[in-house]
A and B are shown apart, each in its own frame.
Chain A
Amino acid sequence: MLDLFLFVGFPYIAIALAIAVGIYRYFSDRFSYSSLSTQFLENNKLFWGSISWHYGILLILLAHLTAFLLPDLHLAVVGGPLRAVVLEVTGWALAMYSLFGLVLLAIRRLSDTRVAVTSNLADWLLLLSLIVQVALGLYVAVFYSWGGLWFTQTASSWLWSLFTLRPDISYVQTMPWAVKLHFFMAFVIILLFPFTRLVHVFTVPITYLWRPYQVVIWVRKSVRGV
């Protein structure tokens, strides 16, 4: 029963809330959409913390996403023994890299008074969840090795069952507690999306690469019907 809630009910609730609240917030309080950078207040620790965290987690998420969306490709890539080892070790390294960044960011947020006074409960909730999640990921990667191989058979299949609206928890029911907790925390973080600064992920300014440099607005021409 608990598994049913954790791995079927809760994911659906989290995703529904993330989308609904995210959209509501975008249209009713767009001002609140911001990365809320504190680089202006503290520059040195941020260099080590922010760069390690962001680039580490981006690559890790990319690996998760490929395994989930393109399991065949993923398996083909990690198929050989040597390649599997390389991926395994790279994964550990990246996890440690991003965990190092996160912990440094947490220390910074605590110890630098200027940053500390700008922090609120949501910031801390998010930061701690991320630390727990990355630490769990590293734990799973180390103690239940070859995740690159078993991920597609278990987590991927379970996620696909959720997305195709045929939820099947048999894929994850027998997993060790750490793995289960890692799955659960993933949806906790999705739930946190619309309520925290995490929304900045959805506003990554990729259009900057092709928009014209200058933005000029004719107030009288840009309005509808003219």
Chain B
Amino acid sequence: MDVRAQIAAVFHLDKCIGCHTCSIACKNIWTDRKGLEYAWWNNVETKPGTGYPTLWEDQEKYKGGWELANGELRLKLGGRVSRLINLFYNPYLPTIDDYYEPWTYRYEDLFNSPEMDVQPVARPISMITGEPIEIEAGPNWDDDLSGTPVYARNDPNLKNLSEEERQKLFEFERVVFFYVPRICNHCLNPGCVAACPAGAIYKRAEDGIVLISQEKCRAWRMCISGCPYKKVYFNWNTGKSEKCILCYPRVETGMAPACFHSCVGRIRYLGVILYDADRIEESAKKSDRDLVDAQRDIILNPFDEEVIKAAKANGIHESVIEYAQKSPVYKFVKEWKIAFPLHPEYRTMPMVFYVPPLLPIMAFRKGEIYELAKDFFSTPESVRIPVRYLSNLFTAGNEDHINYALKKMLALRLYKRAQNAKDVPEEEVKKMMQQMELTPEVAEEMYRLMSLPTFHERFVIPPSHRELSVERSADVYDTKASVGFGFRKPPQRGM
């Protein structure tokens, strides 16, 4: 058992209102710079939709992530030699047009315009070339299903839905959508790390954050293809790849990452989990059906004496183990089993988990009694978003997991409804609770964490013990009282 720690996250999609506050918080801190104007380390997508960059889930086009070839894990990009052969031209690289050309407006035209019969207009200009452009795409161009025929209908996750199911999704009267906020998944088996010819990308064992060494990156561009989530961005100005750093300067000092902190719907949870690094490869090789279970299995029980012993032997600090025991992520993923990785079939073992949306449920009032549609989940027509669609997104097609999670959350909803509104038959609630192995204690705990969590219940961030790292790498008295002011060179293209 090789125990490592990982700061992992849960996004509760039923609570996401698609306000993009997370994206803006991130943009303001990290990517509001020349070369990364187009990049959104955090973005929010409307589903069904084609996302950002357009069709990022189409791995036949972008070749991201891993595939099984004769029982062995192989990058979808091909073997190692092919990476070197393609150094001069990466055939699977998305270009800026797959994202969008960033633009601003020539506002000064509004002030400098001569007197005319019509109002002056601020023309959009490209932030790359400075020339006027026609705006043809943006980071959330298909927000709230806009342009459905072009975008939502081409969502790769609709692949195995029946024609009837598709029609129903987009029927005007019952059209349905939800939001998927995305950041770097800080995977256990990252494709970007494996694809980088220069070895510039690495995973920190202490907290699992995946980072790109800006000094080692040589712009070979393979990470951008290797990441199936398209969460590595090329800075066209400095000629270096960049990605979400999970706000490690904040996390190291006990603060939540900016996108988590600013989340209006409070959908985000952050906590540390312990996992067994010896079993990463074996788990990533499981069949599609078993991938979610395999990923759960590799997450270790932080209360287990054996695990605690192995963790300590690996240099994981006692306080980190304590925080792992309080981790909300552990509860959502392991105990309650209602949070799933995004596209586990890419086999990178992503560490951001999603609670699938229940969406406004189909229910009706019968006299004084609130009743759910009969046989809520077994008949596809009663579910507004097909379970098959959700399973394509979150469980590599395994519908059992999605059914279980939705039913469990529904049982919880009924339990609270019976408690507060008292208009649900009690036997009904009891039956459903029993079926979902939900005790009143667990239900209360789930309710608390999902509906009324405090800041510190949502973000349980272990101390990073920087002092240990610093003391071991340098004698702190060497640098004491030395340089208070210094010079820093801004990043610049080439020499």
Name A's B-contacting residues (CB within 8 A): 25, 29-43, 46-47, 50-51, 53-55, 113-114, 116-118, 120, 122-123, 195-197, 200, 203-209, 211, 213-221, 223-226
Contacts and interface: CB of A to CB of B under 8 A. Distances in A.
Contacts of B469: 219-220, 223
A46 B128 contact: no
B368 interface: no
A200 B138 CA distance: 33
Contacts of A42: 95
B131 interface: yes
A145 to B, nearest CB: 30
Interface residues of B, number: 58
Contacts of A25: 495
Given A205-B199, A214-B193, 19 more contacts: A29-B495, A30-B216, A34-B217, A35-B219, A39-B95, A40-B95, A42-B95, A120-B494, A204-B87, A208-B80, A208-B198, A211-B199, A214-B194, A216-B203, A217-B203, A218-B204, A218-B205, A220-B315, A220-B472
A215 B95 contact: no
Contacts of A50: 88-89
12 contacts: A30-B215, A34-B239, A34-B240, A37-B221, A54-B87, A122-B495, A197-B494, A205-B218, A214-B189, A214-B193, A218-B205, A220-B469
Interface string B251-289: 000000000000000000000000001001000000000
Contacts, number: 155
B291 interface: no
Interface string B127-142: 0111100000000000
Nearest to A54: B88
Given A33-B218, A34-B219, A51 B88 contact: yes
Nearest to B187: A214
Contacts of B87: 54, 204-205
A152 B153 CA distance: 66
A41 B203 contact: no
A37 B89 CA distance: 9
B203 A215 contact: yes
Closest 7 CB pairs of A and B: A205-B197, A223-B473, A213-B194, A36-B239, A30-B215, A215-B202, A54-B88
A56 B381 CA distance: 61
A36 B95 contact: no
A55 B84 CA distance: 12
Nearest to B214: A31
B272 to A, nearest CB: 15
A154 to B, nearest CB: 32
B353 interface: no
A203 B203 contact: no
A117 B234 CA distance: 16
A219 B83 contact: no
B236 interface: yes
Given A43-B95, A214-B203, A35 B128 contact: no
Nearest to A21: B495
Interface string B199-228: 101111110000000111111110010000
